[in-house]
Structure 1
Amino acid sequence: MRVEDGDEFVETLLEWYAENGRHDLPWRDPDASRFEILIAELMLQQTSAEQVTGVYDEFVEQYPTAGAVLAAAETDIGEAIEPLGLRKRTEYFRRASAQLLARHDGRVPDSRSELLDLHGVGEYTAASVLAHAHERDASAVDTNVARVLARAFGSESAEPESPEMWDLSDRLAPSGRCDDFLHALIDFGAAVCTARDPNCESCPFEAACEYETERSTDE
């Protein structure tokens, strides 16, 4: 696959996602609130979807709003997310909730700069919230997304901080479908284009993928 074949890549990936994506993840429910999506994105930092699934439903049921989070005891929040590790997220939730209440009447902002001002929110999380909570045209690159794009397009850099990766993601992102596109990249990286022992035999890009070509040559 080459960068100039970007439209075909996106179309094929979205078709794969429609059939194979993890559509049952609770934070992908169309009825999930913007605050619940923000909570999910904070939980998913350095944590698998499987781990987050184990605590997410109960957490957002108990703490559905910024006000509910801030009203809870810090120890209660910590205990609720303890299975995820990274206890510093307790501070993320409480400080971000306080900022939402003080600056945005408890609502999740829809601008990149305002999202980045929230405690615990970085470039990837801000872009994800824009795409998933506000249905904005925004692309985001984490380790898994960078791996998929680097392999498919033969990029020399697979670092998520690489400007090349973000530029490629921006160019590929389909207007009006960035939400699905980001989910598709994440799910494809988790199910097929894994870090170790990728399932190239079931990959729809096998014939054109630069990574598979090099892998076959090495074998």
Structure 2
Amino acid sequence: MVGNTEKSIPERSMISMFRRNILRWYSTGRRTYPWRETTDPYRILIAEMMLQRTKADQVVNVYDEFFTTFNSPDAVIKCSDGRIESMLKPLGLRWRAKNFKKASQALLHTFGGRVPDTREELKTLPGVGDYVAGMVLSTAFCKCEWAVDSNVVRVFRRYFGIPTSREGRRDAHVTEMARIYSSSRNPGRANLAIVDFTGIVCLPRKPLCNSCGLRRRCNYFMNLDDKESKGKAVSTKSSINTVRGCIDYD
């Protein structure tokens, strides 16, 4: 283990092995969504803003409607707040509708209509925090940028057996692990692999341990006493694609 101020993080080689294994799972277990089939940073940014605290399957129809109506930040600015609120209502994001308009205004007036490609600049946009910024940078720009949410914390805590605070996502050692994890030739694919893995296999409750290809090295699985409680097998089929223009390997 490598010492970190107050906590310890796994060796880089262990995190790299975890990444290789989860990418191997992702090659056949990945989910397909329209925002994963584009390299347009604006579309990816809007999708990630929609995905906050919202299931991806709920976003699909709203995403399609949004970009059928608005093909640029300028089109969003010209639309009424009520129209945007109505469009986002199915996501439970009506109260955040103003962020979409303010972010579009900032993109147009501050960044010349382009999505910025640094974490610091992205975080100046209303509604954009570290997680959204990291996902946009890694998937739209293929930059080695970390993204930590509760799902990342959960899989790190279970697999590596690390201690975390109750929230976890602001823990320095978790962020450092995510930095190492995303240091890949395809950081976007690596980050998306965790998104899908934690949504399909490493669930918050009743994780499907018996169908998990990572279980033999997983601290959570190895420390379960009741073998019957280790989940039921699941079969997930999906296409293998190159994601958002990035190189399709670790």
The TM-score with structure 1 as length reference comes to: 0.94
Report matched runs for 1:1-219 at 5 Å: 3-4=10-11, 5-22=14-31, 24-29=32-37, 31-157=38-164, 159-216=168-225
- What displacement does 1:129 show? 1.0
What letter is aligned with 1:25? Y
| Deviation >6 Å, runs of 4+ | none
Aligned partners of 1:73, 1:85: CA distance in 2, in Å? 18
- Distance in 2 between residues matched to 1:75 and 1:91, nearest whole Å: 10
Once the two structures are superposed, residues 117-154 of structure 1 have per-residue CA deviations (whole angstroms, 9 ceiling, x without a partner) of 11111111111111111111101111111111111110
Amino acid at match of 1:6: I
Greater fraction helix: 1
Q: CA deviation at 1:189?
A: 0.2
- Is the Cα–Cα contact under 8 Å of residues 42 and 89 in structure 1 kept in the other structure? no
**2 CA distance for matches of 1:10 and 1:144?**
15
Superimposed CA distance per residue, residues 31-88 of structure 1 (whole angstroms, 9 cap, x where no aligned partner): 3411110100100111111111131111112112110110111111111111000312
Q: How many Å apart are 1:171 and its aligned residue? A: 1.4
Contiguous gaps of at least 5 residues in structure 2: 1-8, 230-250
> How far 1:208 sits from its partner (Å)?
1.5
SS at match of 1:56: helix
Moved more, 77-86 or 169-178: 169-178
Cα drift, residue 176 of structure 1: 2.1
The answer (yes or no) to whether the contact 2:26–2:196 under 8 Å persists in 1 is yes
CA distance in 1, matches of 2:143, 2:21: 22
Q: Which amino acid aligns with 1:130?
A: L
CA RMSD of aligned residues (A): 1.6
State the SS of the aligned residue for 1:137: coil
Distance 1:190 1:54 in 2: 19
Give the distance between the partners of 2:15 and 2:81, measured in 1 at CA: 46
The alignment covers a number of residue pairs equal to 216
Does the aligned pair in 1 maintain the 2:15–2:177 contact within 8 Å?
no
Cα displacement string for residues 91-135 of structure 1 (whole angstroms, at most 9, x for unaligned residues): 110000111111111110011111011111111111111111111
Q: Is the 8 A contact 1:43 1:89 kept in 2?
A: no
Letter in 1 for 2:214: F
2:55, 2:61 → 1: CA distance? 10
Give identity over the alignment, percent: 37
For the residues of structure 2 that align with 1:32 and 1:110, how far apart are their CA atoms?
13
Bigger Cα displacement from structure 2, 3-12 vs 209-218: 209-218
SS in 2 for 1:207: helix
List alignment gaps of at least 5 residues for structure 1.
none
